[in-house]
A = this chain, B = another copy of it.
Amino acid sequence: MIRLFVPKPLAAGADIAPSSDQARYLTGVMRRAVGDEIALFNGMGGEWRAVVAEVSKRGCVLRVEELLRPQETSPDLDLVIALVKRTRLETIVEKATELGARRIRLAITRFTNADHTNVDRLRAIAIEAAEQTGRLDVPEIVAPEKLDRLLADWASDRRLMFCDEAGDARPVLNALADSEASPWAVLIGPEGGFSAEERDQLRELPYVTPVTLGPRILRADTAAISALTLWQAASGDWRQLAS
C-alpha cells in the first residue's frame, strides 16, 4: 500500500487534499483511481487507511477511513552530521530516516567546506524516506549551526557518540554496553575529519562518548549509517524484536 505523509489532522471521515505533487504521483504515476486504498500519516496521529474519493484535473481528494496503527514513540536518537558534499548528505538523510533517527542536525566544523545547504530539499528527502520505510514520523532537519554553538547549547542529559577516526577510542558495542539508558546523538565529522582542537574539546565534555568504527577509514555516509545501526541494535528498537 502506498504511504503518504500529509501535514494535516487525520480522523475518520476527514477529507484530505494531498499536495499537487502527491496527487500527480498517486493518480498519474501510480494510476490510483476512485475507491483505491492508500495509507496516510502526519507524524503525530498514527497511520490511517484512506481511499481515493475524487479525482479531477486539479488534483484528488482522499477520504480517511480508519486507524491502522496508533502513533509510536521511537527511540530518542539524533544524528549530528557535518556538512559534506550534497550527494552524500542526501544519502545520509535518506539512510538516517530508515534507521530511525528522530532529528538530523547539520553542523559546520573547522574542516567543513560549506556553510549552507538546501534544507528544504533534505526535508523532502526525509519525507519520502519516511513514507517508504514505514515510519510514523518524519525526522526533523535542523538548519546548519556551528559546532561550537551546538555544543554550547547541548542538553547535558543527551549522550553524544563521537565517532573519532584518529583516536584510541573503544568500539561502539563496548561503549554502549556500559552506558545507561538516555537520549543519544551520533556525531559524524566532515570528509577531512575533526581538527585537533575540536577533538580535544569533544573529549573533555562530560556527555561525550568517543568510539571507533573499526580499522578502516570510512566515508562520512558509511560512518553515519554504521553508527546509527550499532546504536539501534545495541540500545534502540532493533533489540526489542528478540524472540
| A interface residues, Cβ below 8 angstroms from B | 91, 94-95, 98-100, 132-135, 168-174, 212-219, 222, 225-226, 229-230, 232-234, 236-243
Q: Which residue of B lies closest to A233 (CB)?
A: B173
State whether B99 touches A226 (Cβ < 8 A). yes
A165 to chain B, nearest CB (A): 11
Once A215-B241, A218-B98, A238-B215 are accepted as A-B contacts, the answer to whether A229 and B232 lie under 8 Å apart by CB is: no
| Known A214-B232, A225-B225: A241·B171 in contact at CB below 8 Å | yes
Q: Are A212 and B233 in contact (CB under 8 A)?
A: no
Residues of B within 8 A of A232 (CB): 214
Which residue of the partner chain, among B91, B133, B170, B239, contacts A171 with CB atoms under 8 Å?
A: B239
In the bound assembly, the distance between CA atoms of A229 and B173 in angstroms comes to 11
CB-defined A-B contacts under 8 Å, sample of 10:
A98-B218, A133-B216, A133-B218, A134-B216, A171-B238, A173-B239, A214-B236, A215-B238, A225-B229, A226-B226
Q: How far is the CA of A160 from the CA of B202 in the complex (A)?
A: 40
Which chain B residue lies CB-closest to A212?
A: B241
- How many copies of this chain sit in the oligomeric assembly? 2
Task: Give Cα distance in the complex from A226 to B225, angstroms.
Answer: 7
Given contacts A229-B225, A233-B171, contact A100 B216 (CB under 8 A): yes
Chain B residues with CB below 8 A from A242, complex form: 170-171, 174
CB distance from A163 to the nearest CB of B (A): 12
Shortest CB distance A84–B (Å): 14
Given A91-B91, A215-B238, A238-B213, CB of A99 within 8 Å of CB of B222? yes
Contact A168 B243 (CB under 8 A): yes
Q: How far is the CB of A104 from chain B (nearest CB, A)?
A: 15
The minimal Cβ–Cβ distance linking A173 to chain B, given in whole angstroms, is: 5
Q: Are B222 and A98 in contact (CB under 8 A)?
A: yes
Q: Residues of B contacting A100 with CB < 8 Å?
A: 214, 216
| CB < 8 Å neighbour of A230 from B134, B170, B213, B230 | B230
Given contacts A91-B91, A134-B216, A215-B241, contact A172 B233 (CB under 8 A): yes
